[in-house]
Structure 1
Amino acid sequence: MALNQELQQLSGLLEASLSPATAKQAEQSLRSVETQQGFSISLLKLVASDQFPASVRLAGSLYFKNFIRRKWTDEEGNYLIPIADVEAVKTEIVGLMISLQGPTQIQLGEAISIMADSDFPDRWTTLIDDLVSRLTPTDVYTNNGVLRVAHSIFKRWRPLFSSNELLLEIKHVLEKFCVPFMSLFQQTDVLITQNEGNKEALIPLFQSLQLILKIYFDLNCQDIPEFFEDNKDVLMALVLKYLQYNNPLLVTDDEDETGPLEEAKSIICELLQLYTQRYDDVFGEMLPPFVETTWNLLTTIGLEPKYDVLVSKALGFLTTVTKNQDRAQVFGSQQILQQVVEKIVLPNMSLRQSDEEMFEDDPIEYTRRDLEGSDSDTRRRAATDFLRELKERFEGLVTEVVMSYVQHYLQTYNSDKSEWRAKDTAVYLFSSVAVKGTVTASGASATNMLLDVVGFFSQNIAPDLVASDTHAILKVDAIKFIHTFRNQLTKAQLTEAFPVLSSMFLAQDYVVYTYAAITIERILSIKQSGQNNVLLFDKDDVAPVAEQLLTNLFRLIEKGQTPEKLAENEFLMMCLMRVVLTARESIAPYSEMIMQHLVGIITETSKNPSNPKFTHYMFETVGAVLRYAAPTKPPGTFDSVLLPVFMGILGQDVTEFMQYVFQLLSQLLDVAPTNAPFPDGIAPLVRPILSPSLWETKGNVPALTHLLISILARNPELFVQQSLIEPLLGVFQKLIAAKANDHYGFELLESILYNIPVSNLRTYLRQIALLILQRLHSSRTEKLVVRVSHLVYFLSATTNPAKELGPDFAVSLLDEAQPGIFSDIFDAFVVPATPKLHSAVDKKIAVVGLTRILFESAKFNSQYGAKWARGAEMLTTTLLSGSLVGVFDGPVITEATIDPVGDEEVSFGSSFARLATVAVKVVDPAPDVSDAKKYAAAAVQRATSGGGSVAQPNLGSVTQEVGQSLTRLAGMA
């Protein structure tokens, strides 16, 4: 009865979480009860029970997956839920998932994958045996459940780098799974054959086949197992059979709906691509019938969108075959190449009616699919890749064949402008063979020397850019041509194109102005040839047009009438961000206008965050405005604009935006002059940001750490006045307890010790030292040792007497934990880690800190003189090796290196998304030391000349070689 009541209560919370009005409160209630023992089991029982609505059970499975992601283990692999619950979940979840269907089963499968990532195989040794024992000869639905679980575990291997640990895990699976796998593949084949006329039976059987083929790929993704090599004839005969297989019962009526047969053949093409790419020595002799079948498939398949993925995967397979010089010879004649172009390339590269409909009805999706570098499976991209690979093998022949078609289509268009599709095909064909290699995010790096790209641009592309009656798709083609070949155009040519591209922001066609934004952003990102840190266009180039560009971009973005539509087009925001980054300080006169627009967009999109990339670029733009405009404005200019919206986001717990807000609050403090008033709106935040719950989200940790450091630098009295030193040190304790966050803990500790008077910290110093020693003893890593070394040097290098730090303090701090322990730490950790401090400021801190320990610390010289020689050897080696950057003038960031448009995928989640425009302020504890080498040389010179240095008694303890080095160093003073 109690359990039933518990499930009813849980059901009510999950149901409430589905309504926007009650979702946040329901989520908080669920979070409050999830820590109770048995919660995970209750949640699984609810998901399994048909007493509850399907929507509630699905919500339960989704919550369970996210709960497992957050709470299964910490970074070190320690369980965060009771061990009894861990064992119970492992016992129940496989059988439960197999018994379910649809989205609920998928969510539990992902949960199993998360658990397996942590526990399999070492802490979940029974998992594969459990799965194998559930496979049956005839129960297709049970088998499909088992296969989904298996695939959810095995697919984790695909993106991983090979390692002994990974290969041992795969070997563990192979030993138990290979024989049942092949038996099931053969049995499924028999059942498909027996049920060829029974559509109801074929559908689940083809689900089995798809899962079997996916697992085939999984098991072979790292290396070809001996079992698969030994049985390749049997297994590959089945693969070939289903690449050739056709059955009208499996063909869907809807031209957009991919059928189970196309899905299976797409997976087969991926598998064939893997084998051709990685295991040619085993698979090569078997290749011809697969190539022939794929050719036949591509020359007979329809143009309907439902076949797009299959065509893309099939072309991907042929492209891989073509990468082999010997195998490519099958295409190496003019006659064959003409067939390739006519029967495969042109049908898949020409614009279809469905493409035109997408251009009109879903322009943002059209743009994302069409963009070079997109991961979308499109026919055009796959056909382009295939043609480019053929051109790499037979450059002259392919160029000649393709250009004959290009000229034909251009003539067709020039004689009749209504035949604009012909020119669209011509431009795509030309671009496909004009590029040498592949097109990356940086554009085409090299071109086909047999073609005149600039000449083609002048004759056939430029006119379409300026003509008023050009079809919108040809206008996009022209813009995209500049985008692709921007590196081949001179700065003068690009400068001429800039006003034309800018005018596209006044166009009515969504794709036209979006592609213009994409191209302008990429042009402004071009680096000067041979100078990776110098941009081709600078603020002087952009300043005259920047305000108008930004105004037009804001107008286009703000067309959106809902939060989702407002944030739909990340390319517009990316361009806006790039214009601000390039214009830099020149935006200052109208920076308030920019910020008002941004605040309005942030406010609206915070109601329903939907596009992670748009969000990221939006906050990068705020960071850029603060970086370049705030120093030219009166202090607090942007505080009154930003703080209310930031407080609203934090108050409403908009988790997708919070880490960005923390970073920008830090920047607001850092860009202000040190004597500027502390913003009233930030002071009330200090207590809430110390609460443990905020620090549980991994993505918040770096941002919160640096926000605390910024507050400490500007207003350390807050922590004393509000009695917050203990909670602050509690954050430090939490951070250094985890390997993933210990470096943030040490950054925070350095800031605490540097900014809060030692008199206020005196009672906590022993506990701080004990925590450091415990970490060094219990789970020491190289990163931890380097941070301890940095802490010792940072404290020792602090030259401001008002800080009450310095070398004696550094020695005494660690000795608080255990008298005399500093000697061991200095010898075993601090000195050996010195060369691993790489940045200019860190090297300076190390040299100044080590110099002060050796030549200014009475405590070190009197108590630990036996270690003096070791430190002197490291000091002279560091200073005389030529590796030291002698002068440090503060945190310098080369502006050209600020590039928020990287390769990494931005998404809403727990990981940290660093804002490139927000520079973490580096503290130099010895600002009065302009040259670390001269500083050290002067200290050595004083000691060796009899100037009464505390180090004099230890000078004789060094070797002759180190003594000579000290003499050399003294001569540099």
Structure 2
Amino acid sequence: MASGMEHLAQLLNATLDAQHHRKAESALKDEAKKPQYSLALLNIVSTEAQPTKTRLAAALAFKNFIRHNYVDEEGNYKLPQEEVQTIKRELVGLMISSPPTIQTQLGEAISIIADSDFWERWDTLTKDLVSRLSTTDPKVTNGVLEVAHSIFVRWRPLFQSNELNKEVLHVVDTFGDSFIQMLGVADQQIEANKGNAAALKGWLETMSLLIKIFYDLSCQDLPSVIESNLQSITMILHKYLSYTNSIFDDEDDEVTPLEALKADICDALQLYTNKYDDDFGVYVHEFTNNVWNVLSSVGPQKRYDLLTSKALHFLTAVASVPRHAEIFNNEQVLGTIVEKVILPNVALRETDIEMFEDEPIEFIRQDLEGSDTESRRRAATDFLRKLLANFEMLVTQVVFKYISHYLALGKTDWKAKDTAVYLFLAIAAKGTVTAAQGVKTVNSYVNVVEFFQEHIASDLVADAGVEPLSKVDAIKYLHNFRSQLNKAQWEGAIKPLIQNLASTNYVVYTYAAIAVERVLFLTDDQGQHLLGRADIQPYAKDLLEHLFALVEKDSAPAKLQENEFLMRCIMRVLIVIKDGVTECGIDSVLRHLISITNIIKENPSNPRFYYYHFEAIGALVRYYSTASGVNLLPALWEPFSFILNEDISEFVPFVFQIFAALLELNPTLPVPADFKLLIDGTLGPTPWETRGNVPPLSRFISAIIPRAAKEILDEKKLEPILSIFQRLLTSKKTEQNAFDILEAVVGTFPAPVLEPYFGTIITLIFSKLQSNPTDSYKTRVTRFYHLVSARAGEPGMGADYFIKHAEAIQAGVFTPFYLTVILPTTRQFARPVDRKLGLISFTKTICDSTAFAQRYAKGWGFTTNHLIDLLKNPPQVTAGFGDELVAEADVDDIGFGIGFTPLNTCKRGPRDDFPEITDVPAWIRQYIVAANQRHSGAIARFASERLSAEAIEVFKPYVS
């Protein structure tokens, strides 16, 4: 056992080594298949003789293992019951006794387990926690409270439900009284240890955790135990908002437990002000004064940043409640707020300038992306905007006095001008600055274009004598108000904006790239780019070369992929210029992209960067691979095949999406020999074990089946492909991918080839229909049926082929299936391409099906009525590879590293199995007329016998 544990520890250490981590992670996957792997990891975590980094790696591996292997999607345990019980028995005590970094990982693991098991399958947990609370040892108590908080915090983002209410009630019943008692204990211990730094720190952390749990317990509803103790709880909140202790006076940068506690109190005050005004409203005014005093007493040091931010969030909440907001509705009060709170927190600090110079990429992310939610600047801006929303004219008047003052100072002091511009940005924008459009609504008392021309434009166009931060302010101004400029104004602004990419300052050229990319993304109300290909083409070649030079300035893998904003700009230029890339030197662009691929594949470290990178390659494939005489594959094959052979898991899903797009976009070209090699690799079980691989692998197989049908049959690969379909069908998460593969199979191979397998396919589909199927599952089943039915006319295919196999499974099964699944689901089809398939299928059924002609006379009538209904709104199917405009998801909505990230440049439109039929009603009329003649007037006769008089009138034009 010891040697096995030692081997596992060595593998965990190797995952921390950049050179060996891939092989180690692969070996860990094999270890994870062995019995009691989770317990072996916990054993390493608990072994104090192991180095902390090994124990931490084990805790991280345990958390990830639990995330994927604890329960299946139905909530059933995937681990043996004995292992589950041991984990629950040992985990809490282990977390309590572990160092803080390990506690964090184990706390997340407990939270994952709680998602499936708490409280009904783990109803002893809360009592267990209560029994472990200590009134004398803060370390033990804090461990217990960390576990409790890691479970209860899950409630915060959830919507109310009966199940959730029961869980909260269970916790309040078993934990509530002890929680109230521990508030008193922590208060007494803080008082008793006010001169003992170590103990004081521990008990302040206890109080902090108790306040976090106070928030957790209250986030859904106001528990009775808190409601009845609310007055005494508010006394504690007041006490610790005002609490001081000289022990912490020497700290400058690090947040002390005292600031952390006050920040947690402000968080709780914000919740209660927003959610429980009826109960809490009487306390709000006093807390507003209290928090105001806190803001007035803190200095500019970094240790106060979090507290200042949370205090401002509370004041913003107060300003959000109309009856409380009135305390701010006064010119003098607003002047004091701007002077004492807003200005000190929006003015540039030395730490901001240091970050600008020393950590430029961090400065950009914080400033631009909203990752500075806990920054003073952001919180002060949010407070000011909330006041503006309530008292627009008054706030604008008050703030403009300060803007004018700082603009005057700004003629000789660039920092003063920065404050003026920041204040203007804060009050000019109403609502949030959106990622897609920037500022959509502007304060009616300001003129953003005029302000730009008078105070900002000179900083944008000047080549020298402008501080880099002033340049950034000018670019950011354009970026934020991009929707407020019309096309003519942008045609004048784009050139000076692009020229700022030539700056030697990292932040300036990066902001320029960000602004250029967002402007190129901007669309009008008709969905057309504000600046299209013709507008950007004159700059495109130099722009791309310069952007690539900036990306490739440092060829170390981590450094090269540090700046995702540059790569996003490259991607956007390629999307906007489309096949105009030929004028930019396609070979050069491709060479740069492949060179970057070869560098970052050594150590993928920035998901945003490599997502944009593969979108850029996808743009070349989408807009250029169909050009005459072009073959991108040879250039892409070498780096991409290396990625697949080495199983660089971050990149594999992107590679298969691009390969699938190459196949789909060039349906007439022969399948490259290289792609045939890939088929074998995709049919083994290993690639499918990674959840993120399933959609792109399914798509690749679906794309290659019709192109390599002969090889698949000759080399007996159809059965392994159908095995993959069967495997994917078992899970709700992958059933859609299963049907993608099945449709490709059924749309490609003739009936005699499908014959040995078709009965099994229908059996699998029908058995899943018995167990509460989703609407999306029924849609895919119905589409599959129509695909078989619509192939009538090919030897052996059509509705009769489906009926024969269905009835062979169980006599009479087709009638309820058709009436309860096919007909109602077809009526609900939303996509034009699906309605088109349904119409073709119904048409061929009433014209060619022997079973419907002879056995299902009523069914023939029902089918014709549905056909008539669908023809009231005939589908217009547009050909093409997805939508013409590439509208990619906002990056913050993409779950990097979680599952699958789709490439929008490679997005495929809905599958159209009959692209040759363009005018569906005309085709239906021709088909029915021809069939009626072919069957000696039988269709017209059936209509007269089986349809209502009203339906006969509607149907008559289609027969005659």
Both structures adopt the same fold (TM-score exceeding 0.5)? yes
* 2:480 corresponds to: 484
* 2:251 maps to 1:262: no
**Aligned partner (choices 639, 642, 648) of residue 642 of structure 2:** 648
* 2:869 maps to 1:877: yes
Decide whether the 8 Å contact of 2:18 with 2:603 is kept in 1.
no
Per the TM alignment, residue 698 of structure 1 is displaced from its structure 2 partner at its CA by 1.7
Percent identical: 39
Per the TM alignment, residue 292 of structure 1 is displaced from its structure 2 partner at its CA by 0.7
**Aligned partner (choices 379, 392, 395) of residue 392 of structure 2:** 395
Per the TM alignment, residue 502 of structure 1 is displaced from its structure 2 partner at its CA by 0.7
Decide whether the 8 Å contact of 2:242 with 2:290 is kept in 1.
yes
**Aligned partner (choices 213, 230, 234) of residue 232 of structure 1:** 230
Write the distance in 2 (CA, Å) between the matches of 1:405 and 1:130: 58
Write the distance in 2 (CA, Å) between the matches of 1:968 and 1:956: 12
Per the TM alignment, residue 384 of structure 1 is displaced from its structure 2 partner at its CA by 1.4
Write the distance in 2 (CA, Å) between the matches of 1:799 and 1:889: 24
State the secondary structure of the residue aligned to 2:651: helix
**Aligned partner (choices 359, 364, 369) of residue 366 of structure 2:** 369
* 2:489 maps to 1:493: yes
* 2:113 maps to 1:121: no
Decide whether the 8 Å contact of 1:46 with 1:52 is kept in 2.
yes
Cα deviations by residue, 1:844-882 (Å, 9 ceiling, x for unpaired): 0111112222332113333333433333332222223x3
> Given residue 606 of structure 1, which amino acid in structure 2 is its aligned partner?
K
* 1:925 corresponds to: 913
**Aligned partner (choices 952, 957, 960) of residue 971 of structure 1:** 957
> Given residue 326 of structure 1, which amino acid in structure 2 is its aligned partner?
R
* 1:809 corresponds to: 801
* 1:898 corresponds to: 887
Cα deviations by residue, 1:461-493 (Å, 9 ceiling, x for unpaired): 001111221111111101111111111122111
Structure 1 residues 718 and 221 mapped into 2: Cα distance closer, same or farther (>3 Å)?
farther
Structure 1 residues 43 and 558 mapped into 2: Cα distance closer, same or farther (>3 Å)?
same
State the secondary structure of the residue aligned to 1:524: helix
Cα deviations by residue, 1:209-260 (Å, 9 ceiling, x for unpaired): 222122222222223223322221122221222222122223563x332111
Write the distance in 2 (CA, Å) between the matches of 1:490 and 1:37: 65
**Aligned partner (choices 494, 497, 500) of residue 504 of structure 1:** 500
Write the distance in 2 (CA, Å) between the matches of 1:95 and 1:633: 67
Structure 1 residues 583 and 370 mapped into 2: Cα distance closer, same or farther (>3 Å)?
same
Write the distance in 2 (CA, Å) between the matches of 1:949 and 1:69: 64
* 1:683 corresponds to: 676
* 2:588 corresponds to: 593
* 1:13 corresponds to: 11
> Given residue 775 of structure 2, which amino acid in structure 1 is its aligned partner?
E
* 1:846 corresponds to: 838
After alignment, is 200-209 or 504-513 more displaced? Answer: 200-209
* 2:457 maps to 1:462: yes
Long gaps (5+) in structure 2: none
Write the distance in 2 (CA, Å) between the matches of 1:372 and 1:694: 35
* 2:248 corresponds to: 250
* 1:473 corresponds to: 469
> Given residue 744 of structure 2, which amino acid in structure 1 is its aligned partner?
S
**Aligned partner (choices 606, 609, 622) of residue 611 of structure 1:** 606
* 2:777 maps to 1:784: yes
Decide whether the 8 Å contact of 2:138 with 2:199 is kept in 1.
no
After alignment, is 890-899 or 703-712 more displaced? Answer: 890-899
Long gaps (5+) in structure 1: none
Write the distance in 2 (CA, Å) between the matches of 1:353 and 1:308: 14
Write the distance in 2 (CA, Å) between the matches of 1:63 and 1:106: 13
Per the TM alignment, residue 908 of structure 1 is displaced from its structure 2 partner at its CA by 2.0
Write the distance in 2 (CA, Å) between the matches of 1:122 and 1:957: 61
Write the distance in 2 (CA, Å) between the matches of 1:572 and 1:20: 25
State the secondary structure of the residue aligned to 2:262: helix
Decide whether the 8 Å contact of 2:882 with 2:908 is kept in 1.
no
Structure 1 residues 448 and 139 mapped into 2: Cα distance closer, same or farther (>3 Å)?
same
> Given residue 48 of structure 2, which amino acid in structure 1 is its aligned partner?
D
After alignment, is 5-14 or 362-371 more displaced? Answer: 5-14
* 2:58 corresponds to: 60
* 2:326 maps to 1:329: yes
Structure 1 residues 905 and 283 mapped into 2: Cα distance closer, same or farther (>3 Å)?
farther
Structure 1 residues 876 and 175 mapped into 2: Cα distance closer, same or farther (>3 Å)?
farther
Structure 1 residues 610 and 22 mapped into 2: Cα distance closer, same or farther (>3 Å)?
closer
After alignment, is 197-206 or 243-252 more displaced? Answer: 243-252
Alignment of 1:203-352 (within 5 A): 203-251=201-249, 253=251, 255-352=252-349
* 1:774 corresponds to: 767
Structure 1 residues 542 and 812 mapped into 2: Cα distance closer, same or farther (>3 Å)?
farther
> Given residue 641 of structure 2, which amino acid in structure 1 is its aligned partner?
M
Decide whether the 8 Å contact of 2:894 with 2:901 is kept in 1.
no
Write the distance in 1 (CA, Å) between the matches of 2:345 and 2:177: 40
* 1:567 corresponds to: 561
Write the distance in 2 (CA, Å) between the matches of 1:944 and 1:758: 25
> Given residue 348 of structure 1, which amino acid in structure 2 is its aligned partner?
N
* 2:814 corresponds to: 822
Per the TM alignment, residue 972 of structure 1 is displaced from its structure 2 partner at its CA by 5.5
> Given residue 271 of structure 1, which amino acid in structure 2 is its aligned partner?
A
Decide whether the 8 Å contact of 1:37 with 1:85 is kept in 2.
no
Write the distance in 2 (CA, Å) between the matches of 1:122 and 1:721: 55
Write the distance in 2 (CA, Å) between the matches of 1:921 and 1:344: 53
Structure 1 residues 21 and 937 mapped into 2: Cα distance closer, same or farther (>3 Å)?
same
Write the distance in 2 (CA, Å) between the matches of 1:827 and 1:727: 33
Write the distance in 2 (CA, Å) between the matches of 1:258 and 1:678: 61
State the secondary structure of the residue aligned to 1:895: coil
Write the distance in 2 (CA, Å) between the matches of 1:326 and 1:46: 57
Write the distance in 2 (CA, Å) between the matches of 1:413 and 1:209: 46
> Given residue 707 of structure 2, which amino acid in structure 1 is its aligned partner?
R
Cα deviations by residue, 1:2-59 (Å, 9 ceiling, x for unpaired): x334323322332333334443333333222322222222221222122333222221
Per the TM alignment, residue 81 of structure 1 is displaced from its structure 2 partner at its CA by 2.1
Structure 1 residues 490 and 890 mapped into 2: Cα distance closer, same or farther (>3 Å)?
closer
Per the TM alignment, residue 806 of structure 1 is displaced from its structure 2 partner at its CA by 2.6
After alignment, is 97-106 or 426-435 more displaced? Answer: 97-106
Decide whether the 8 Å contact of 2:868 with 2:954 is kept in 1.
no
RMSD: 2.2
Cα deviations by residue, 1:407-449 (Å, 9 ceiling, x for unpaired): 11111222x2xx1111111111112112223322221112122
Query: Could you state the TM-score of these two structures normalised by the residue count of structure 1?
Result: 0.95
Write the distance in 2 (CA, Å) between the matches of 1:146 and 1:811: 62
Cα deviations by residue, 1:147-181 (Å, 9 ceiling, x for unpaired): 11111112222222333332232222222221111
Decide whether the 8 Å contact of 1:61 with 1:104 is kept in 2.
yes
**Aligned partner (choices 175, 178, 199) of residue 176 of structure 2:** 178
* 2:522 maps to 1:526: yes
Per the TM alignment, residue 916 of structure 1 is displaced from its structure 2 partner at its CA by 0.8
Write the distance in 1 (CA, Å) between the matches of 2:233 and 2:108: 28
**Aligned partner (choices 87, 101, 104) of residue 102 of structure 2:** 104
Write the distance in 2 (CA, Å) between the matches of 1:32 and 1:888: 48
Decide whether the 8 Å contact of 1:795 with 1:810 is kept in 2.
yes
Per the TM alignment, residue 631 of structure 1 is displaced from its structure 2 partner at its CA by 1.3
Write the distance in 1 (CA, Å) between the matches of 2:928 and 2:237: 76
